[in-house]
Amino acid sequence: MPCVILPRLFAAESIMSCLLIVDASSSLCSVALSRGSEYWSLCEDQPRRHAQRLLPMVDELLIRAGVKKAELEGIAYGRGPGSFTGIRIAASVLQGIAFALELPVCGISSLQSVALKTLRSSQADHVMAVMDAHMGEVFWGHFQREGELCRLIGAEHVGSPEQCLQALKAFDGIVAGDGLTLPAFASCAQDWADVQPQADIMLALAEDAWQRGEFGSVEQHPPVYLRDSVAWKKLDEQPSLLRRD
């Protein structure tokens, strides 16, 4: 499993803070930590093993960074969209730690993470982040470069690949994310198809949110599923032995 610890210096003007971020919104399981101008991260490809790995990775990261739990000032998580179960694993781990250590929290968009990672490796100013939403659908969002970061243009969406392709007709920029691996996107360039949400990228977004005062309560930062319908028939759509009034 790939495992990376990369100390890196942030821009000098950053407000000093000590933030932890956890993400399990894709097949990757990743954690990142900042303290002042230093940062550390761990990332593993752990499909279906996020619950087993996330907390041990948090523990390992803090130990290896020499950061004590009491030093943490805030905690963020990949709030989705993405794997529903993964988002909940990250949300639950975040809730436990935040409640115990009395930390403010923040949810970071997984689509924005995909976009920012792509922008950091390219000259483009616009990215359409497209993630596989399963059940034949994709999540997508249009992001525009803004300084070192990026911002969402419009809203994040869930829908059919055809709906996404429709949105791409008027789009001029890079398309990135694992949604590109769906057959409907075969005619699109696949250069950025392997970009996934990752905690180390999200850390920059969390730092920005921290500086903007956007950290808050757990209730203020719920998971973002985008898809709110369930493939479950309501009672009046189910077969009935008796006549319905």
Partner 1 sequence: MRVLGLETSCDETGIALYDSKQGLLAHRVYSQIALHAEYGGVVPELASRDHVRKALPLIREVMDEAGLTLKDLDGVAYTSGPGLVGALLVGACLGRSLAWALDLPAIGVHHMEGHLLAPMLEDNPPPFPFIALLVSGGHTQLVQVDGIGRYSLLGESLDDAAGEAFDKAAKMMGLPYPGGPALSALAAQGDDKRFKFPRPMTDRPGLDFSFSGLKTRVRTTILECAVDGVLADQDKADISACFQAAVVDTLAIKCKRAMQQTGINRLIIAGGVGANKRLREKLRTTAEALGGAVFYPRPELCTDNGAMIAYAGTQRLVAGEQSDLAVSVVPRWPMTSLTPVDCVAPDANAESGAEHG
Footprint of partner 1 (CB under 8 A) = 51-56, 58-59, 69, 84-85, 88-89, 91-97, 99-101, 218, 222-223, 225, 230, 232-235, 238, 240-244
Rounded to the nearest whole angstrom, what is the least distance from the CB of residue 104 to partner 1 in the complex? Answer: 14
Rounded to the nearest whole angstrom, what is the least distance from the CB of residue 221 to partner 1 in the complex? Answer: 11
Rounded to the nearest whole angstrom, what is the least distance from the CB of residue 11 to partner 1 in the complex? Answer: 30
**Is 11 or 231 the residue whose CB approaches partner 1 more closely?**
231
Query: What does the CA dihedral 148, 126, 223, 183 come to, rounded to 10 degrees?
Result: -140
Nearest to 129, CA basis, from 140, 118, 119: 140
**Is 177 or 223 the residue whose CB approaches partner 1 more closely?**
223
Planar angle of CA 140, 222, 51, nearest 5 degrees: 85
Please name the residue that has the structure tokens 């993405």: 82
**Is 171 or 225 the residue whose CB approaches partner 1 more closely?**
225
Helix axes 199-211, 110-120, angle to 10 degrees: 100
3-class secondary-structure state, position 161 = helix
**Is 124 or 218 the residue whose CB approaches partner 1 more closely?**
218
What does residue 105 show for φ and ψ, rounded to 5 degrees?
Answer: -125, 165
Rounded to the nearest whole angstrom, what is the least distance from the CB of residue 21 to partner 1 in the complex? Answer: 14
Rounded to the nearest whole angstrom, what is the least distance from the CB of residue 218 to partner 1 in the complex? Answer: 6
3-class secondary-structure state, position 64 = helix
**Is 123 or 240 the residue whose CB approaches partner 1 more closely?**
240
